[in-house]
A = this chain, B = another copy of it.
């Protein structure tokens, strides 16, 4: 299977067009402005006496923003000023890059003696993102200065890490360079970059590269060599970036062992370590995967970057294996754990995406200043470690890449969005038009300018094995003939595996692919006191202020009581409980929220 790059696809209506327009109009500018305010942009000037001390990972923040801005330019959605801003940054890099090729806006002015001395200092992570930004910018504008600067830096990395081997570590503490090198190989066809990627992927785990005070080797996937890693472990963003590179390499090298490892890891994630939202990483401690079925809701870490990384990994696995389940997971993440990251106005962001907020618990440690680490209850515009916002800036414009895959004979519609795509099949370029209001409406229409078969993915929640073949419905299109498939979008209740402690006795409500949640704004009681009536009907309304469909159900609450403990009673009060999409929570001021609700 092959993917179809977003640059050949114009999303021109419906759910995701609105999100891309938000990215164009608001998010790309809001993120730049906050990076400018916080000194991240001017850090590229590498001034020794700058009043703001840069952080070792700041380059990656700006690089991801450059990548996202470049994608908007590629789509014809880039304002002129984006290019000017990027050019200025590239000029700064050119001016301050060391003669060796090295560049890092922290180490050059602040700690030049520390270059490649500390595995945890994100230098190769930053380089990875700079490479991805440079490729994106060249592809968007044709300007190749940035990419040439980065290729020079990559050569220096090759010299130090692979030829001279005189660095204090062999593989970086935070993966990213690996998948960037694959992109650089794909872009340049220069085998050196594939070799370097293979080096960094395969050397990891071969030796003890030292631990920090607080981490163990699993933290950065250094506990085993790649091929022997069969479970998702450690820092979840580092992990999925690494797994992406493993899948990339498995595909390009035809490496069956690496492919098997990737398949096992992916299954470990989605059958044991993934929130229903597609979020991953259950704990703030090391921002990490934990043990199987450990999915606490209130303290969920579920980092926005990890959700994005899981999509990256799933998309690679879809290409590598052609199996539908990977596209199903992408859909789960897209509408839930990814989208919750960003406010509906596109200006502010969650780093953590909890599945439950009990506001009173945030005041529980009144007598001590050092609080328990409950995730923030509201989005903010920028973080001290602000990796997520620019990841969103690069993800939204590029999500067209997720719509289609293809093999020699056919096209697979994996995700749904009104769009026009140019897809090369064999020697022919086909223009494929998709029209849909998915996920609010299940009708999806396809037409093409040549005869072609498009296999339409049956969404996971409808995929009982009875529709289509292997989960895809084939539409045999004649040139310029429109054919539709009309999925009935259900509202339904889901329960978690009985081994998940946090969800025992509880259910989640979904509307198609969208996970719903209760918010205090719509439900005036303790949300954890609500029990959904097992025989409820579902009433759909529109919340005009949020612009989202709501679902109201019959439910019960136990009545108030003055006693702390009482003999059990069946006394219940009937109420209506109103759910909103999880992705829309925390857009009306601080509130309690929960995804998993008791059922009776």
A492 to chain B, nearest CB (A): 6
Segment 396-455 of A: residues with Cβ below 8 Å from B: none
CB pairs A–B below 8 angstroms (14 shown): A213-B369, A233-B366, A233-B367, A271-B563, A274-B564, A286-B368, A290-B366, A291-B364, A294-B360, A494-B566, A495-B558, A497-B565, A498-B526, A498-B558
Find chain B residues with CB under 8 A from A568 CB.
493-495, 507, 534, 599
Specify the chain B residue showing the minimal Cβ separation from A284: B372
Segment 244-303 of A: residues with Cβ below 8 Å from B: 270-272, 274, 276, 282-283, 285-286, 288-291, 294
* 20 more CB-based (< 8 A) A-B contacts, given A234-B367, A291-B361: A213-B369, A214-B370, A215-B367, A233-B366, A233-B367, A271-B562, A276-B565, A282-B364, A283-B364, A285-B370, A494-B567, A495-B569, A496-B565, A497-B561, A497-B564, A498-B526, A498-B557, A499-B529, A501-B528, A504-B529
A534 to B371, CA, bound (A): 39
A358 at the interface (CB under 8 A from B): yes
Find chain B residues with CB under 8 A from A506 CB.
505
Question: Contact partner of A366 among B291, B496, B498, CB < 8 A?
Answer: B291
Segment 517-563 of A: residues with Cβ below 8 Å from B: 526, 528-529, 531, 534, 557-563
A9 to B178, CA, bound (A): 77
* Beta-carbon contact of B492 and A567 below 8 Å: yes
Find chain B residues with CB under 8 A from A499 CB.
526, 529, 560
A562 to chain B, nearest CB (A): 7
A338 at the interface (CB under 8 A from B): no
Closest 10 CB pairs of A and B: A286-B368, A290-B364, A498-B558, A218-B367, A219-B367, A234-B367, A505-B505, A504-B528, A498-B529, A285-B365
Q: Chain A 296-313 against B: per-residue CB contact (8 Å), 1 yes, 0 no?
A: 000000000000000000
* Beta-carbon contact of A493 and B567 below 8 Å: yes
**DSSP majority for the A interface?**
loop
A29 at the interface (CB under 8 A from B): no
A593 to chain B, nearest CB (A): 13
A235 at the interface (CB under 8 A from B): yes
Find chain B residues with CB under 8 A from A283 CB.
364-365, 372
Q: Chain A 365-409 against B: per-residue CB contact (8 Å), 1 yes, 0 no?
A: 111111110000000000000000000000000000000000000
Find chain B residues with CB under 8 A from A566 CB.
494-495, 497
Question: Contact partner of A271 among B285, B564, B567, CB < 8 A?
Answer: B564
Please give the residue numbers on chain A whose beta carbons come within 8 Å of chain B beta carbons, in ascending order: 213-216, 218-219, 233-235, 270-272, 274, 276, 282-283, 285-286, 288-291, 294, 358, 360-361, 363-372, 492-501, 504-508, 526, 528-529, 531, 534, 557-569, 598-599
Find chain B residues with CB under 8 A from A233 CB.
366-367
Interface centre among A367, A500, A563 (most CB of B within 10 A): A367
Specify the chain B residue showing the minimal Cβ separation from A531: B505
Find chain B residues with CB under 8 A from A563 CB.
271, 497
A371 to B216, CA, bound (A): 12
A230 to chain B, nearest CB (A): 15
Find chain B residues with CB under 8 A from A498 CB.
526, 529, 557-561
Interface centre among A495, A560, A598 (most CB of B within 10 A): A495
A507 to B371, CA, bound (A): 30
Find chain B residues with CB under 8 A from A598 CB.
504-505
A234 to B495, CA, bound (A): 39
A292 to B361, CA, bound (A): 10
* Beta-carbon contact of B294 and A368 below 8 Å: no
Q: A360-B294, A504-B598 are in contact. Are A368 and B497 (CB under 8 A)?
A: no
A502 to chain B, nearest CB (A): 9
Specify the chain B residue showing the minimal Cβ separation from A234: B367
Find chain B residues with CB under 8 A from A370 CB.
214, 285
A117 to chain B, nearest CB (A): 22
Find chain B residues with CB under 8 A from A534 CB.
568
Find chain B residues with CB under 8 A from A557 CB.
498
Find chain B residues with CB under 8 A from A271 CB.
562-564
Specify the chain B residue showing the minimal Cβ separation from A372: B285
Find chain B residues with CB under 8 A from A494 CB.
565-568
* Beta-carbon contact of B367 and A291 below 8 Å: no
* Beta-carbon contact of A369 and B560 below 8 Å: no
Question: Contact partner of A368 among B214, B495, B561, B567, CB < 8 A?
Answer: B214
